Homo-oligomer: A and B are copies of this chain.
């Protein structure tokens, strides 16, 4: 009883299994698809994009733990049993996302792509360089990841604004919320950083109409987009239009409507686009298994699960 199932697709279960066996050798561990054993024993499922129907086969399942920060990959299962789904919130993931956001904000702020092009042409020329304080980074999504990124960006010197679905307050950050707050937030924003989850509300939110509301003629000469949240929040055809008509000066995308990004996508070769393979905040077993075991042990000791997803909000 109280077995833990590892059910992942698109990545190997092996490093997760190895880490669980190292940290909790006494636990009954099962691995989808070949080593599920008697499914009645399975109480917890640690999952990434689990195959639809797998979780419904476990009649005594008590909780589903996502090994990644997003949980949309769980809710796509039409047969998902009605048990708590928990997000992973871990300092390791939070710090990695902070690295990624700071790197790509600074690449835009410091015109790195211009200097790359100049280097190829052996051109020694110093362009204008606004101070970070003259630039506003607008962060969509003010959960743990967004708040950490906001804190780092403020320390570097940027002005920071934030938008979230529900009202939140952050020291030193101009916060906006809800549909009514969106236009005011966008009008302030030179560099838009999207860290939103994929939910029915966020689907296709980053479209041409939204991008046209970003600050025009700011200190950097044109707004930039960074999406390290979920690809479902963006309309890639609209991002391309915005880049081509000057609505956007550049974009860094870690996530896509369909992943891996298709060979045929014009994003790969667009001169204003930087592409990373959904690696902004990798889920690393060495860091995260400890976190999941702590959830399970706390729960078994009668405590609450932390970071339980609200199925209506989708995060």
Binding site for B on A (CB under 8 A): 92, 95-96, 98-100, 102-103, 106-107, 109-110, 112, 115-116, 118-120, 122, 124-127, 129, 131-133, 151-152, 155-157, 259-261, 263, 268-269, 274-279, 282, 284, 287
Task: Decide if A275 touches B156 in the complex (CB within 8 Å).
Answer: no
Which B residue's beta carbon lies closest to that of A113? B116
Task: Decide if B131 touches A92 in the complex (CB within 8 Å).
Answer: yes
Q: Out of B96, B131, B275, B278, which one reaches A287, CB within 8 Å?
A: B131
Query: Using Cβ atoms and an 8 Å threshold, which residues of chain B touch A100?
Result: 110
- Give the distance in Å from the alpha carbon of A25 to the alpha carbon of B120 in the complex: 45
Task: Decide if B98 touches A129 in the complex (CB within 8 Å).
Answer: no
Total identical chains: 2
- Give the distance in Å from the alpha carbon of A246 to the alpha carbon of B119 in the complex: 22
- Give the distance in Å from the alpha carbon of A275 to the alpha carbon of B121 in the complex: 11
| Shortest CB distance A150–B (Å) | 12
Q: Out of B92, B124, B132, which one reaches A95, CB within 8 Å?
A: B132
- Give the distance in Å from the alpha carbon of A109 to the alpha carbon of B99 in the complex: 9
Q: List 16 A-B contacts (CB under 8 A).
A: A92-B131, A95-B133, A99-B132, A99-B157, A102-B106, A103-B112, A107-B112, A115-B275, A119-B268, A119-B274, A119-B275, A120-B269, A126-B277, A129-B279, A152-B152, A155-B155
A96-B156 contact in complex given A103-B110, A263-B122, C-beta closer than 8 Å: no
Task: Decide if B277 touches A129 in the complex (CB within 8 Å).
Answer: no
Closest 9 A/B residue pairs (Cβ): A124-B260, A103-B106, A95-B157, A126-B279, A124-B277, A122-B268, A119-B275, A126-B277, A115-B276
Query: Using Cβ atoms and an 8 Å threshold, which residues of chain B touch A268?
Result: 119, 122
Q: Of A116, A129, A278, which is in contact with the most chain B CB atoms at under 10 Å from its CB?
A: A129
Task: Decide if B118 touches A277 in the complex (CB within 8 Å).
Answer: yes
